[in-house]
Amino acid sequence: MSIRTVLFDLDGTLADTAPDLAGALNALLVENGRQPLPYEAIRPQVSHGATALIALGFGLAAGAPGFEALRQRLLAIYQAGLCRETKLFPGMAAVLAELRTRGCNWGVVTNKPAFLTEPLMAALGLDTDAACIVSGDSTTNRKPHPEPMLHACALAGSRPDQCLYVGDAERDVTAGNMAGMPTLVALFGYIGDNERPQDWGADGLVQTPAGILEWLNTHA
């Protein structure tokens, strides 16, 4: 195995976006006369997107009356405060720098829509460093389908077997495995207490961003 490209999920893997997304959900709850939720209750749902956050906050399933209006309002509130508290996870900047030193490139594959992904990457100062940024609407299919993963490989100039994908949700591992690339689970991400990442079929589990480099040292 010779890894040339490391691909990251965005929310809960590359960047800690939960504070801003939780703030947006709680603002929407208050706007609708409801009590805000504890941050600890919201954080595990962040990687599952706006649909999961509306389900958590309002007890509504997708397609229920009023659901889509709430989801769109949540996205609008979030967009207005896209990068107030969002930061790279501790140690992630050093990982990106070390990848460059090693001659590897890196990119992002996220289900987040491009109208949020692209300005967020720019606000984090990463838009020009990334070899590829594949959003949830960049391809016909989203993760867990392998299409966005394969699109990212092509943009980054690497074969799937030369790419490592790091994510914090089962869909990330499924998409990476179906695309034919090794996968790691970011245990520092937004994983709920009832989830079992050890059963997702990843090639490894890492407790910190530095663990990505440690895995590369022994497997690539």
CATH number, residue 103: 3.40.50.1000
Assess whether 62 and 110 both reside in one domain: no
Q: What pLDDT does 219 receive?
A: 87
Catalytic residues: 9, 11
150, 169 in Cβ contact below 8 A? no
Assess whether 31 and 106 both reside in one domain: no
Read off the tokens for 180: 């034919």
165, 149 in Cβ contact below 8 A? yes
Assess whether 101 and 208 both reside in one domain: yes
Assess whether 33 and 95 both reside in one domain: no
∠ CA 121-140-156, rounded to 5°: 50
Assess whether 113 and 210 both reside in one domain: yes
Nearest to 7, CA basis, from 189, 133, 137, 174? 133
Residue 108's φ and ψ, nearest 5 degrees, are -125, 135
Assess whether 118 and 141 both reside in one domain: yes
Report how far residue 50's alpha carbon sits from residue 121's, in angstroms, rounded to the nearest whole number.
19
Looking at 32, 50, 80, which one is the last position of a domain? 80
Average pLDDT, the chain: 97
Residue 199's domain spans which residues? 5-16+86-219
Assess whether 26 and 98 both reside in one domain: no
Report the chain's C-alpha Rg in angstroms.
17
Query: Can you name the residues that pair with 23 across neighbouring β-strands?
Result: none
Q: What pLDDT does 1 receive?
A: 60
Read off the tokens for 121: 């990457």
Assess whether 114 and 214 both reside in one domain: yes
Beta-sheet strand order (sheet of 183-186): 132-134, 105-109, 5-8, 163-167, 183-186, 204-206
Assess whether 42 and 133 both reside in one domain: no
**To which residue do tokens 């590829």 refer?**
132
Q: How many domains does the chain have?
A: 2
Q: Which portions of the chain are predicted below pLDDT 70?
A: 1, 220
